[in-house]
């Protein structure tokens, strides 16, 4: 009996750990061949990035497809010297940094669109430029507005 308990422990603990890891730190969407690792942070950030990715998926198939294609890691730790918003470093071409969710899921999703735009620039060896990426974020926000 004791032996069975021991084997159950060996099996159950990694399963529980795996389930926790999956629920917190992975966005897996087999039907769209999408897998993104969400790197945890100790920063105060009130919206879950996983929720933001799902929000983007529901609100824009086009922008979501770009995120899936060009980004494999979303790092929530501050980088690039910025305190707010997000940033992108060409030395880590498939990683985007989202420093602050700004308590607004639509703005947070627009931030994903903006940083994905930089990832596309970085991966095609273009000069990183803000203009097109602010435009992409703004166009995304326009597209999800409820028009009167
Ligand atoms: Zn930018």
% of the chain with per-residue pLDDT over 70: 91
Q: Which residues, chain by chain, have CB under 5 Å from ion ligand 1?
A: 130, 133
Total count of residues recorded for the chain: 148
Residue 89 Cα to ligand 1 middle (Å): 10
- DSSP lists the bridge partners of residue 98 as 86
- Does 72 score more than 60 pLDDT? yes
Please check the confidence at residue 125 and state whether its pLDDT lies above 80: yes
> From ligand 1's centre to the CA of 20, what distance in Å?
32
pLDDT (average), residues 111-131: 95
pLDDT tens-digit profile of 54-69? 999 999 999 999 999 9
Predicted TM-score (pTM) of the model is: 0.85
Q: How confident is the model at residue 12 (pLDDT cuts 50, 70, 90)?
A: confident
pLDDT of residue 109: 94
| Residue 4: predicted pLDDT | 73
| Residue 82 pLDDT > 80 | no
Query: What is the overall mean pLDDT for the chain?
Result: 87
Kindly give the distance from the C-alpha atom of residue 59 to the centroid of ligand 1, in angstroms, as a whole number: 21
Give 49 or 109, the one with higher predicted confidence. Answer: 109
Q: What is the pLDDT of residue 83?
A: 52
Q: Is 10 left (phi over 0), alpha (psi -120 to 50) or beta?
A: alpha
Q: How far apart are CA 106 and CA 145, in angstroms?
A: 9
């Amino acid at each position: 009996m004791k032996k069975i308990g021991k084997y159950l422990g060996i099996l159950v603990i990694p399963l529980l750990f795996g389930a926790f890891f999956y629920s917190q730190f992975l966005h897996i969407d087999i039907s769209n061949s999408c897998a993104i690792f969400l790197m945890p942070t100790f920063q105060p950030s009130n919206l879950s990035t996983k929720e933001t990715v799902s929000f983007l998926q529901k609100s824009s198939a086009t922008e979501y497809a770009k995120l899936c294609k060009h980004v494999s890691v979303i790092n929530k730790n501050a980088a690039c010297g910025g305190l707010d918003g997000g940033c992108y470093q060409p030395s880590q071409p498939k990683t985007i940094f989202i420093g602050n969710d700004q308590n607004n899921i639509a703005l947070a999703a627009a931030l994903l669109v903006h940083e994905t735009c930089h990832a596309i620039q970085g991966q095609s060896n273009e000069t990183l430029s803000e203009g097109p990426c602010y435009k992409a974020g703004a166009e995304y926000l326009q597209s999800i507005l409820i028009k009167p």
